[in-house]
Amino acid sequence: MYKKPVINRVDFSLSSKYGSPVKSQKVKSEIDGIKIEELVKEFGSPLFVFSESKIKETYEKFKEAFESRYPEVQFFWSYKTNYLNAICKVFHKLGSKAEVVSEFEYDKARRNGIDGRDIIFNGPHKTKEALRKAVKEGAKIHIDHWWEIKDLEEIAEELGVEIPVAIRCNMDTGVYPQWSRFGFNIDNGEAYDAIKRIFEGKKLFLIGLHTHVGTFMLSANAYYVAAKKLTELKNKVEADFGFEIEYIDMGGGFASKNRLKGIYQPPEVIVPTPDDYAEAITSAIFETNKGKLPKLYLETGRALIDEAGYLITSVFAYKRLADGKKSYILDAGVNLLYTYFWYNFEVFLTKRYDNLTEPAQLNGPLCMNIDVIAENIQLPPLNRGDILTIWPVGAYNVTQWMQFIEYRPRVLLIDLDKNVRIIREKEDLDYVIEKETE
C-alpha cells in the first residue's frame, strides 16, 4: 500500500542524561527453544506464554540463597501474583505452600490440593464465614486489624477451641511512602498492644509474626530493618507473655528484573540479588534473636514469576500521528498489561529487519486514549502480522487483566519437557455473558 513519505524531526526527548536509547534491534525468536512464530501460527495472537523452566530456575535461586543461610525456610506462593492453577501447581510441585488474601484465593488453593494447614491467610477482608472455615481447616491466620481479633475470639468461643494466630506488623523501614495500612504498627506500640490484647483474651495464642513491607523493594536494607524489628518484638512478647513464636514471615516484595518507569539504570544494576535479600533478612534474625530460632517464611511473588511470563502480540495496523510519529495498533494493550503503569517493558522483534529504526508508539486495540504500551520505542518498519514479544509480564497481569472491550486470550505453559500446554482458553461470548440474567 503506498503511503506518502514524511520527514520527521529527531525527537530529542528520547535522550536522557544516560544517553540516547539503543538503536539496535532486540530480537527474540524463541521461548525455551520453541519458535514464537510457530506458537502464533498454532495458538493465535495475542498469547501469554509462561516458561516452567524459568520459574524453576528462579525459584531455586531464591531457595538456595535462603536455605544456604538459614536452617528452616518455607516459601508460600502468593496467589494474587498469578493464580492460574497450572502456575500455582508448578510452585506447589517445587515445594511452595500457599499464601492467599481472600476467601476466593483460599478456596482456589484448597481446590489445588493444598491442605488448610499449608495456607497462610492474609488480607484485610476475611469475612467471618471465611475465617470460620480457615480455623476449622487449621490455616495460618494472619490478623490484620482489631476487628479481626474480635471475630476470631467469637469463633473460638463458638467452636470451643483456642486458635493459633499470627499478626501482621508494619513499621518504618526507611523506604517511603511507608505501608502502614496493613496490620499493626510496631514503632508506636500498637503491635505490642494487639498481642497483649490477644494474651488477655485467652482465646487466641500467638505463634507467628508477619510483615510485608512493600512491593518492588529496591532496598535489601529495608528487609534488614524489618527482620530486626520483628525479631525484637518476638523476644519481647515471648518474655512478657510466654508465647512461643514458631515463625517469622517476611512477606514478599522482592523486585523482579523489570524496568520501573523513571529509573534509567538497568535492573541488573539496581535490583538486589536473591543473596542480598537473604543476607539482609537472615543476618538480622541471627543478630537479634533470643531463645529458639524461629522458622523463616517467605511469600515472594513477583520476583519468582515476572521473568517467566511473555506476552506475544501482533501488529494489526499502523498510522502516522499528527506530529508524524508512527503508531502501531497491536492486538494486545493495557487490558492485558496492568503493570504497564509502572514498567517500561522490553519489546522484542522475532527476527532482524534490514531497515533503519525510527521512533514509534505502541498502542493496544482498545478504543481508549490511555491504551499505550510504549510511548517512544525504536522499531524498524513493521507490517500487519509482524510479531512483538513483551517481557517480563509474568507477575500480576494474568490476575489484574480486564475483560474490557476485548476477550482475554489464551495462556500457554511450556513445561520442562518442552510440551506446549494451553493452561487457560481464550474467552468467548458465552463465557463473558454467563452471569448476566437478562
Ligand X SMILES: *Cc1c(COP(=O)(O)O)cnc(C)c1O
Length of the chain counted residue by residue: 438
Site size toward ligand X (CB under 6 A) is 18
Q: Provide the pairing of β-strand 309-320 with 47-51.
A: antiparallel
| Binding to ligand X in span 211-230, by CB under 6 A | 212, 215
**Piece of the chain touching ligand X by CB under 6 A; list 2-10, 23-31, 260-268, 298-306:** 298-306
State yes or no: residue 289 binds ligand X (CB under 6 A). Answer: no
- Cβ-based neighbour number of residue 177 at 10 Å: 6
Output the smallest distance, CB 164 to ligand X, in A. Answer: 18
Residues 61, 67, 70, CA angle at the centre, nearest 5°? 140
Residues 25, 30, 32, CA angle at the centre, nearest 5°? 135
Three cell numbers, residue 249: 514471615
Give, in order, the Cα–Cα distances in Å from 12 to each of 19, 21, 376: 11, 11, 11
State yes or no: residue 258 binds ligand X (CB under 6 A). Answer: no
**Piece of the chain touching ligand X by CB under 6 A; list 125-133, 245-253, 311-319, 423-431:** 245-253
- Rank residues 122 and 344 by Cβ distance to ligand X and give the closer one: 122
State yes or no: residue 252 binds ligand X (CB under 6 A). Answer: yes
Three cell numbers, residue 372: 499505550
Among residues 63, 92, 99, 423, the one that binds ligand X under rule CB under 6 A? 99
Contact between 390 and 362 (Cβ < 8 Å): no
Output the smallest distance, CB 123 to ligand X, in A. Answer: 7
Give, in order, the Cα–Cα distances in Å from 410 to each of 150, 332, 380, 389, 428: 44, 12, 28, 15, 11
Three cell numbers, residue 161: 477451641
Give, in order, the Cα–Cα distances in Å from 105 to each of 122, 215, 257, 397: 10, 19, 26, 16
State yes or no: residue 394 binds ligand X (CB under 6 A). Answer: no
**Distance from C-alpha of 92 to C-alpha of 109, rounded to nearest angstrom:** 10
Q: Can you name the residues that pair with 115 across neighbouring β-strands?
A: none
- Rank residues 92 and 410 by Cβ distance to ligand X and give the closer one: 92
Site mask for ligand X (CB under 6 A), range 58-87, x = bound: --------------------x-xx------
**Distance from C-alpha of 407 to C-alpha of 103, rounded to nearest angstrom:** 26
State yes or no: residue 299 binds ligand X (CB under 6 A). Answer: yes
- Rank residues 252 and 364 by Cβ distance to ligand X and give the closer one: 252
- Rank residues 120 and 198 by Cβ distance to ligand X and give the closer one: 120
Among residues 96, 231, 282, 300, the one that binds ligand X under rule CB under 6 A? 300
Q: Can you name the residues that pair with 73 across neighbouring β-strands?
A: 296
Q: Which residue type, as a one-letter code, is found at position 298?
A: L
- Rank residues 183 and 333 by Cβ distance to ligand X and give the closer one: 183
**Piece of the chain touching ligand X by CB under 6 A; list 60-68, 293-301, 327-335, 406-414:** 293-301
Among residues 54, 302, 408, 410, the one that binds ligand X under rule CB under 6 A? 302
Site mask for ligand X (CB under 6 A), range 331-360, x = bound: ------------------------------
**Piece of the chain touching ligand X by CB under 6 A; list 156-164, 250-258, 264-272, 317-325:** 250-258
Among residues 46, 253, 272, 333, the one that binds ligand X under rule CB under 6 A? 253
Peptide bond into 267 cis (omega under 30): no
Q: What is the DSSP code (8-state) at residue 270?
A: H
On the 0-12 / 13-18 / 19+ scale of CB atoms within 10 A, 268 is exposed
Site mask for ligand X (CB under 6 A), range 161-200, x = bound: ----------------------------------------
**Piece of the chain touching ligand X by CB under 6 A; list 31-39, 171-179, 188-196, 294-302:** 294-302
For residue 253, give the nearest of 195, 212, 282, 221 by alpha carbon.
Answer: 212
State yes or no: residue 411 binds ligand X (CB under 6 A). Answer: no
Coil, strand or helix at 207: strand
Output the smallest distance, CB 211 to ligand X, in A. Answer: 9
Residue 183, sorted as left (phi over 0), alpha (psi -120 to 50) or beta, turns out to be left
Output the smallest distance, CB 76 to ligand X, in A. Answer: 8
User: Interface with ligand X by CB under 6 A: which residues?
Assistant: 78, 80-81, 99, 101, 122, 212, 215, 251-254, 299-303, 395
